[in-house]
């Protein structure tokens, strides 16, 4: 029997590293449904969960998978699911339920080219706006984008920690290339992995209000079967969790759901800079595209273009302030992503009126080569 944290050095795919990251983060429930190219996450964790006291279940569809992980989380167990585009679409309604009921959980989307069934075995980054706005209504969400199997291991832990800290679903927006890429992955000693658990109630059970924010702006979470007699609903609710069908209640609840993210942007947003100090042209990228952009920066510099890379580790909430600050001192932005302009729109919005912003996009199915990025830089600037 293997331990939950498989300390050691491995050669593993991004999908497997994601599953191991989840176990290291304390995930003990996985509800899934097979879908290329995310199936390996479920396959791997299906064998691993029972040996660490967890539970794996393959549900009847992605709707059920998402519902089951919310249920498991409400019962007090850290939970996760993984999918790709079509399944991600089916999960959207219940992602909204997790947002509204402030239920921590992690959803991994190993992106493939769409729309519809698209190119099931070939990667893309076309679900980035769906990650942001896919469920109905207005809300804030956290989405991370790993660029390597090693990073997906750490980001999965990070995703759990963020979801537990702020009580919301956190999305890992990876792609087929990273998911199926085998690379060296180092899993550290269990003691060196920092894990966070949701805030928990203290004090009298009869006075507990399940949605009353604690000192850090996040409500402590009582689990089912602990005697708090909580009511949890996807309807607009007050601090007691009771449905209240008024404009005022809607305003107050939305302020709480958005506020806990908006007040903590500094803690949530992670970006990585490469040769950005003296850059005149900024490449903005994430996931697999950030890897190809990295090579493009060096190549462009050799050809006399002062390029730098801003890699978005957290894609949502979008690092607006950083783009706005950069826009004051650079000549322009180029967003590199495997879609036809999604994060590009955000960059353009934040740079608007200051400097131009361009897209190096692709409809999906393959990566964007460094050569193409360099050519684009030469053409645009």
Partner 1 sequence: MKQIKKQVRHPLDDLLRIDRIPHIWCPGCGIGTAFSSCLIAMRESGIDLEKTVMVSGIGCSGRGAGYVNLDSYHTTHGRAIPFATGMKLANPELNVVVFSGDGDLFAIGGNHFIHAARRNVDLTVVCVNNFTYGMTGGQVAATTPLKAKTTTTPVGNPDTPFNLPLLAYASGATYVARWTILHTRDLTESIEEALLNRGFSFIEVLSPCPVNYGRRNKENGIDSLKIYQERTIIRNDAQPWELDIDFDRGIVLGKFIQTERPTCTDRYDNTCRPKELIEGEKGLE
Q: Per rule CB under 8 A, is residue 243 in the interface with partner 1?
A: yes
CA distances to 31, 84, 194 from 161, rounded to whole Å, are: 19, 22, 8
3-state SS, residue 309: strand
Q: Per rule CB under 8 A, is residue 232 in the interface with partner 1?
A: yes
Q: Which is nearer to partner 1, 134 or 370 (CB)?
A: 134
d(Cα 330, Cα 307) in Å, to the nearest integer?
10
Q: Per rule CB under 8 A, is residue 86 in the interface with partner 1?
A: no
Which of 186, 224, 321, 352 is close enough to bind partner 1 by CB under 8 A?
A: 224
For tokens 């493939």, the residue is: 112
Both ends of the chain: CA-CA distance in Å? 57
Q: Which is nearer to partner 1, 57 or 323 (CB)?
A: 57
Going by their DSSP bridges, the two strands 271-274 and 8-13 should be labelled as: unpaired
Which of 186, 190, 235, 340 is close enough to bind partner 1 by CB under 8 A?
A: 235
Q: Which stretch binds partner 1 (CB under 8 A): 10-18, 159-167, 213-221, 222-230?
A: 222-230
Please, what is the minimum distance in Å from the beta carbon of residue 242 to partner 1? Answer: 6
Q: Per rule CB under 8 A, is residue 227 in the interface with partner 1?
A: yes
Q: Per rule CB under 8 A, is residue 93 in the interface with partner 1?
A: yes
Q: Which is nearer to partner 1, 56 or 274 (CB)?
A: 56
CA distances to 12, 16, 52, 180, 213 from 49, rounded to whole Å, are: 18, 13, 5, 21, 33
Please, what is the minimum distance in Å from the beta carbon of residue 29 to partner 1? Answer: 5
Q: Which is nearer to partner 1, 55 or 256 (CB)?
A: 55
d(Cα 314, Cα 335) in Å, to the nearest integer?
15
Please, what is the minimum distance in Å from the beta carbon of residue 229 to partner 1? Answer: 6
Note the Cα 268 to chain centre separation in Å: 11
3-state SS, residue 363: coil
Q: Which is nearer to partner 1, 95 or 313 (CB)?
A: 95
Please, what is the minimum distance in Å from the beta carbon of residue 92 to partner 1? Answer: 11
Q: What are phi and psi of 312, to 5 degrees?
A: -85, 110
Other residues' Cβ atoms within 10 Å of the Cβ of residue 3: 11
Window 40-79: contact mask with partner 1 (x via CB under 8 A): ----------xx-x-xxx-xxx-xxx-xxxxxxxxxxx-x
Which of 203, 215, 225, 304 is close enough to bind partner 1 by CB under 8 A?
A: 225
Please, what is the minimum distance in Å from the beta carbon of residue 33 to partner 1? Answer: 11
d(Cα 144, Cα 165) in Å, to the nearest integer?
15
Other residues' Cβ atoms within 10 Å of the Cβ of residue 155: 28
Which of 28, 44, 291, 362 is close enough to bind partner 1 by CB under 8 A?
A: 28
Q: Which stretch binds partner 1 (CB under 8 A): 17-25, 90-98, 168-176, 282-290?
A: 90-98
Q: Per rule CB under 8 A, is residue 246 in the interface with partner 1?
A: no
Q: Which is nearer to partner 1, 25 or 300 (CB)?
A: 25
Q: What are phi and psi of 380, to 5 degrees?
A: -80, -35
Residue 112 host element (H or E): strand 105-113
CA distances to 68, 258, 272, 324, 337 from 312, rounded to whole Å, are: 30, 21, 7, 14, 11
Q: Which is nearer to partner 1, 75 or 186 (CB)?
A: 75
Site residues for partner 1, 270-289, by CB under 8 A, read none
d(Cα 204, Cα 142) in Å, to the nearest integer?
32
d(Cα 42, Cα 113) in Å, to the nearest integer?
20
Please, what is the minimum distance in Å from the beta carbon of residue 4 to partner 1? Answer: 13
Q: Which positions lie near partner 1, rule CB under 8 A?
A: 1, 28-29, 31, 50-51, 53, 55-57, 59-61, 63-65, 67-77, 79, 93-94, 96-97, 101, 223-235, 242-243
């Amino acid at each position: 029997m293997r331990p939950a944290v498989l300390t050691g050095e491995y050669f593993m795919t991004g999908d497997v590293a994601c599953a191991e990251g989840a176990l290291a983060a304390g995930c003990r429930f996985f509800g899934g449904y097979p879908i290329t190219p995310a199936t390996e996450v479920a396959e791997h964790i299906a064998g691993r969960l029972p040996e660490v006291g967890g539970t794996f279940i393959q549900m009847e569809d992605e709707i059920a998978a998402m519902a089951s992980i919310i249920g498991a989380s409400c019962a007090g167990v850290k939970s996760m699911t993984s999918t790709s585009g079509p399944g991600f679409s089916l999960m959207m309604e219940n992602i909204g339920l997790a947002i509204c009921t402030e239920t921590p959980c992690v959803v991994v989307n190993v992106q493939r080219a769409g729309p519809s069934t698209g190119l099931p075995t070939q990667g893309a980054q076309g679900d980035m706006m769906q990650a942001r706005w896919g469920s109905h209504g207005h809300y804030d969400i956290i989405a991370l984008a790993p660029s390597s199997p090693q990073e997906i291991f750490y980001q999965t832990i990070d995703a759990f920690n963020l979801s537990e800290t702020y009580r919301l679903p956190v999305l890992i927006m990876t792609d087929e290339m990273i998911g199926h890429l085998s690379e060296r992955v180092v899993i550290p000693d269990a003691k060196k992995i920092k894990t966070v658990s949701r805030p928990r109630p203290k004090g009298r059970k009869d006075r507990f209000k399940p949605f009353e924010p604690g000192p850090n702006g996040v409500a402590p979470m009582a689990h089912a079967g602990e005697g708090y007699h909580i009511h949890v609903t996807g309807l607009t609710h007050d601090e007691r969790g009771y449905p209240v069908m008024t404009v005022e209640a809607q305003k107050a609840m939305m302020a709480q759901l958005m506020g806990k993210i908006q007040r903590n942007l500094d803690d949530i947003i992670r970006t990585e800079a490469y040769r950005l100090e003296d850059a005149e042209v900024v490449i903005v990228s994430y996931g697999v595209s950030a890897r190809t952009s990295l090579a493009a920066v060096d190549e462009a510099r050799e050809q006399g273009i002062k390029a730098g890379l801003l890699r978005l580790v957290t894609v949502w909430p979008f690092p607006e302030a950083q783009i706005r600050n950069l826009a004051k001192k650079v000549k322009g932005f180029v967003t590199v992503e495997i879609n036809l302009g999604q994060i590009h729109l955000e960059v353009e919005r934040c740079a608007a009126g200051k400097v131009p912003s361009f897209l190096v996009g692709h409809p999906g199915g393959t990566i964007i080569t460094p050569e193409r990025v360099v050519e684009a830089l030469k053409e645009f600037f």
